[in-house]
Structure 1
Amino acid sequence: MSRYSLRARVNTFYAGMLALALIVFSIAVYLGVRAFLTRSLERSLSNSAESIVSDYLVPLDRKGDSWFLAEMNESYPPGSSDPFVRVTQGNRIRYQSGDMRDPYVNMSELALPSNPSWFHSIHRETTANGQRLMIYTLPYRALNGSIFFVETGTTIEPIRHVLRSLTEILLVTTPVILILATFGGYFLMSQPLKPVVTLTEQAERVGRERLGERLPVIQTGDELERLSLSLNRMIDRLEEALAHNHRFSADASHELRTPLTIIRGELESLIQMPSLPLPVVDGIGSALEECNRMAKIVHSLMTISRLDGGGEQMEMIPVDLVELVKATLEHMVLLAEEKQISLRFEYGKAVVVSGDPMRIKQVVVNLVDNAIKYTPNSGEVKVTVTSHEKKALLWVADTGIGIPITALPFVFDRFYRSDLARSRESGGTGLGLAIVKAICSAHGGSASVESVEGRGASFRIELPLLAPDVTVTDQARTFASTSSLYQTVGPRDSDKDSLTKI
């Protein structure tokens, strides 16, 4: 799962918010439990001190010291560990319970109450052995004017023990809850996101074979259903705009053919007239060249429009791509020899595709012609045919001037030229690669390019591969006749790639 996917982002946000909530909840529970235990202990100590005053000190004048000691020993016997009790009168200890045993606290180490800030309140002390105590001091003035101090206290070790146990529980359960909730959220999100995955997969397929496909409408009644309907309406508008563009190109090309034919005929008649001045002949010849160039552009535009619109009647038959490329390169070897360019052909076993031989040959011619035009003298053009999985692959690579990286996304666009002057001098119209792309799309394939400026370019053509046992028709073989110009070192009984030089 990509960390940038919608599911990852939502799950990360959900896990983060849950972790924050669990941390806040754990802190709140810890503080709440600690406050509750502390208040409960303080309340217990204060209630015990008040009970001693009301039950034993108030009747002390009437019942005497013996009764007081007997009652105190019975209610708070010596040796009792919790809570400890001490009643003092001035510097005299009237009663003191035994030392605390668990944990051990020596009561004689505790100072007598002397700080007024301790009265009617809880104060804390730490013993020599590190035990922390909580002590409540309650002063009492008897009717005879005697002042008593009642101290009730206990260690806070039980509170600390409970808080330690609570902390351990929270430290263990919080990560477990977070992990389980994160995985649970991840799998729970799979179901709501299934329609989005379906829309994405279908959207990837729209336009690859035909634009008439539509996205499935998710019948959920929520935003996903509205999204699918909106996307389908957008595709309708795009299809209408593209259809209008194709109709315009086809209609314009068709309407231009007749006037161009008439103009060319008139110019050819004029140039045959006797005794024409030389500048006039040159002007008519230049006009004829531009007229022929315009006719080529119009013809190319009509071809692209028919291919894009599905109006091109192509005879789809099994074609051996290796043999077809061989036969095509045979007719182009002279172009390479003129510039002393090495034209190399690498191939392996037979690669059979379903297509129109003439159109596939046009793809090879356009790509190899471009490679030869833009490769300097003594350079190299290499053509490779192979197959991978269910695709036939055709590469045309050269050692030419290359294509600027800024121009790579646009090389298959109509009339696009990375260097206008250079293309014009070489006779290009800016439509050759557009025709290549249209032919590949009509065959259910694709065209792409890789290039480093100054190091050459490599064009890659992908076509659907037919089964190896498909028989190539005699009609297809007429485009793949072997020439004596090739020194074939191709495969004999092996499927390994081999090299043919021209």
Structure 2
Amino acid sequence: MLFKIPTSLQRICRTLAFRLTLWYAGIFSISSCAAFLLFYFLVSQTILNRMDQDLLDKAGLFSAVLSVQGIQGIKKIAVLESRAAGERKIFFRLLYPTGEVFASSYMDYWRNVKVEASAVKRLIKSQRFFFETITIEPDHQNVRVLYHLSAPNVVLQTGLSMDTYSSFLAAFKRMFAGAMTIVVILSAVCGWFMSRKALGGLEHVTRTAREISGASLSARVPESNNQDELNELAKTFNRMLDRIENLVRSIREMSDNIAHDLKSPITRIRGLAEITLLHDSSPEAYENMAASTIEEADRLLDMINTMLVISRTEAGVGGFQFETLDISALVAEACHLFVPVAEDSGIDFTFNLEPDLILNADRGMLQRAISNIIDNALKYTSSPGNVWVYARKTFDFESKSSDYQNKSSDCQNKSSVYQNKTSQFQKNSDNRQENFSASIPVTIEIGVLDTGVGIATEHLERVFERFYRADPSRNKRGTGLGLSFARTIAREHGGDLTLRSTSGQGSLFLLTLPYDNFQVI
């Protein structure tokens, strides 16, 4: 039966920390082995070179004695040197160029060392010296042998036992084996500690991800002051959680809003049908019920269609049909539609439009977006309030828009003052047009300024969300999609819809479109 690895051990082996530990220990061990091999090679070569130098020194001594004392002197030196170093450590032989031995030290121990005739011939030919390493039996002893031409007719063969050399290297190997065992263990421990330390941030991310559930998205990964990758990961993960939390909250709110907006017309349809059926109703009552049902159904369809347009546009499949339009005429058409509504509500509604504002746009979508903005302004402005619509080319629209935002609070004082400001705008606009007639406009700006209830700061961005209403009572008609639709259309045309408002003083909606979407005439 095969040994089964415990599940806990299998889980550890699959972790990134374990793999990093293996990599660290493996690389460190391989590096240590490579360093040892290099050191071993250098040490062995150093010792071998030292042995060769000792043999050459002795060969030089023999040559000097030979030149002074002759053959008898060199025989005497060979015996003395052999006895001094140890007859098992070194030997000497004197050879004729033919390879015949004519003198030697005590050779009982070295009798298995042969004289290679080829080596002697090689030496005679090179007129120098050379080394070789041989192994003698029966002890498998390594011997370093030198062939040296001491005189024209005398060849010196000397050999030095390599037992000390081999013993030193063997001890070095044993020491390294023990050291490597310790190195591997320490590298594994250090690798595990370092990997766990390095991956500590990932554990926080994993733990936080496990704590997150559909009911709670408030958990966050602790961030440190270290500017490393794991801290960046923690920051990115926390930002992602913030976006997810906001998205989930928006989805919940939108679901509640959708449920409320769908419930109201459906409840009215059911109520009308129930009342009509429970009472002895005339044909006229049934006709009224049918008309009301159609009206509420149209309201539902309009809401659904608006949602589809927003979704398709945001997905890039809106299917817009762009054509060259006169924005002044387009905005004027939208404004004329709301003149009766403003008059019925007792609101002073004026519009001031520069001529020849040419834009490539989808007529229906852009007109509907502008209508939504105007409708929103009229809806939240009470009598005797003011709503003013303007359209113009702008070169420095941020500073001018800021000026009109500051003026919006004054618009609620008197209608005459409001009218004076509109004529002053026209005068300033004409002057600007003269000053910059040779320039290219940066944007076209369509502004809708009202003196209505205004919007609190915390609601400024959220009013562009689907189904969101700053008025929690929902006592105003509408679906909560108008401003979201308008901003989506503006951005599809390369522009944007922004809002500046002060609660209780009024609002300024700015629909801006970039110059590269225009044909100036």
State the TM-score, normalizing by the size of structure 2. 0.46
